[in-house]
Structure 1
Amino acid sequence: MNKQNRLIGIFFVIFGASFWGVGGTVAQHLFQSGNIDVDWFVTTRLFIGGILLLSSQLVSSNRKHLFQIWKEPTSRNRLITFSLFGMLLVQYSYMASIALGNAAVATLLQYLAPIFIIFYFIVKGIQKLTRSDLLAISLTLLGTFLLLTNGLFNNLSVPFSAVIWGVISGLSLAFYTLYARSLLESFSSVIVVGWAMLLAGIVMNFVHPIWAIEAINWSASIYIALGFTILFGTALAFWMFIKSLEYLTAKETTLLGTVEPLTAVVSSILWLQLPFGTWQIVGGLLILVLVVYLSLQNKKK
């Protein structure tokens, strides 16, 4: 892989993850200030995000490829699996963790994904357990403990249910990252992400229909925030993240994507005045440092 392609991949993953991180903070604002239901929010951003991406493909010169992913049973089945256990699960679990806790902690918990990927590689025999992996796992456990407790064993900074959903989002992000590569070998990132979002949105409509919402008292800021999360925090963020997999490995993409928790924490503190204890900051920094370290190690290899 040449240097230019690597830089393109890094560009996509950093900007996509940044949109994702800020989008999480904006979502927290919508849950708290707009009293927006999580189920409806996930339905709306997936359904509309999918339509936007597929529409962009429809008006492009490659529109003839839009439905090819459905023609082969193998690709069709993989798309459905990816939509339900990748796109839908990572979206719902992440938003549920934000709604029950906050965007900063939810995003940092989601970035346990590199550790799950390491475990997967080791179990599958793709790589051996190295000192770097042991260091990463140890720092992650310590950082997660400090993040969630602020150094006190009998104190959780967020409800336990938020922690559970956060861990699920980490597992689903690991699956999302690994499983997407096989689809990207045959189809463009816009087609893969667009169809996955639309399918997930259709499924969520059976849980909470997109039209079942009272928007009478919404202010202009609520509409702007909702539009941002759909366009930038969903459609563009997911597309750029998946697009980066065409230039980088799954492990690199997930590791470099840790700019997401950084933007989520900073935007939560500056905009939402989220209180963050000293040991929570230390824990968050540990998680960020370890993924940067692993990314550099991976680049050397």
Structure 2
Amino acid sequence: MKKGFLLTALGAACWGFSGTCGQYLFIHAHISSSYLTTMRMLIAGGVLMIITFINSREMLKRLIQNKRDLLQLFIFAIGGLAFSQWTYLTAISYSNAATATVLQYLYPTLLVILTCLKDHRFPQSIEVLCIVLATLGTFVLATHGHLSRLNISMQGLLWGILAAIAACSYTLTPVKLMHRYGSLPIVSLGMMIGGLFMGIAFQSYKHIPALDISGILAMLAIGLIGTALAFTMYLFGVSTIGAIKASMLASLEPVSAAICSFFWLHTTFQFTDFLGFFLIMATVFILAKAKEKAQ
């Protein structure tokens, strides 16, 4: 259990660190979010495919032979994984790693709203509280309490909200596939498919940036540490401490992104930024605790 808690926390911290690496590349290498998404997915997908081939070869073979499930995987890879990675990294390019990460964490509240619409019911009192907190947190983060102006760019806000919507798709679309084949074959093959799609769709191979050694290291850190290693550690955590506790520990991601951005890139934050962070992230804990109590 202790190992599960530790590795889950480290996985979340690695996700936050990868966001800051992305911010570094946007600032110093003027790299595009589409190219970074392509490389992140291909690097991570390649590493995870090797692990999958070693540990889950039969499941991978079964998946490839099932045309219907393979089609569903393509939908997840493009509409879930690639869309989520691209919108998140684009949000970072227009704001910063910490703000983009927190805005992405609006997705649990969006899932509540989608569930209420799907079930044709009004939200429960605790769900109403989370919707209010998430809305208020987004308002504080975007405006710092001033109705007449935005504290972050409109592009940063919109891409951050799109990243939250994409995270909903990323969360919902692979559920049945993961039950059938396990998480590793789905994510590893999904990463490869999504990376290839992004590379072809945006012709990333025609816009290869000239990176110095620090840029190459940041790129590798995003793919290896911030994606492949982070996913592996988080997956182990889910298997040992459960999805609910793991989802709460995953909230360390924006904390890690904020700390790395502050000390490495000297990103400045105000009290109202932290207030917005707190209001949005509180919804993750409230919803997780409510789900744990219900179970």
| Distance of aligned partners of 1:235 and 1:210 in 2 relative to their CA distance in 1, 3 Å threshold | farther
> Using a 3 Å threshold, how does the CA distance of structure 1 residues 290 and 117 change in structure 2: closer, same or farther?
same
Corresponding position: 1:289 with 2:276: no
| 1:112 matched residue in structure 2 | 106
Q: Which one-letter code corresponds to 1:295 in the other structure?
A: A
Q: 1:14 — aligned with what?
A: 9
CA distance in 1: counterparts of 2:185 and 2:263, whole angstroms:
36
Cα distance change, pair 191–127 in 1 and its aligned pair in 2 (3 A) = farther
C-alpha distance in 2 between matches for 1:244 and 1:57: 18
Structure 2 alignment gaps of length 5 or more: none
Identity rate, percent: 29
2:179 & 2:205 partners in 1: Cα distance? 33
Q: Name the Cα RMSD after superposition.
A: 2.5
* Contact preservation (8 Å) 1:256, 1:295: no
> Unpaired runs of 5+ in structure 1?
none
- Structure 1 residue aligned with 2:227: 234
Q: What residue identity is the alignment partner of 1:62?
A: S
Task: After superposing the two structures, state which structure 1 stretch, 230-239 or 178-187, moved more.
Answer: 230-239
The answer as to 2:44 corresponding to 1:56 is: no
Structure 1 residues 20 and 113: alpha-carbon distance in aligned structure 2, compared to 1, 3 A threshold: same
Find the counterpart in structure 1 of residue 73 from structure 2: 79
Aligned AA (1:279)? T
> How far does residue 286 in structure 1 lie from its aligned partner after superposition?
1.5
- TM-score normalized with structure 1 length: 0.88
- Code of the aligned partner of 1:37: S
Who is 2:18 aligned against? Answer: 23
Q: Could you say what secondary structure the match of 1:296 adopts?
A: helix
Identify which of 215, 224, 232 aligns with 1:222: 215
Which residue identity lines up with residue 131 of structure 2 in the other structure? I
SS across alignment from 2:162: helix
Distance 1:18 1:132 in 2: 28
- Give the superposition deviation at 1:62: 3.4
Q: Any idea what SS the aligned residue of 1:276 has?
A: coil
Matches within 5 A, 1:1-301: 13-58=8-53, 60-125=54-119, 129-206=123-200, 207-210=202-205, 212-215=207-210, 218-241=211-234, 254-301=247-294
Distance across 2 between alignment mates of 1:210 and 1:241: 31
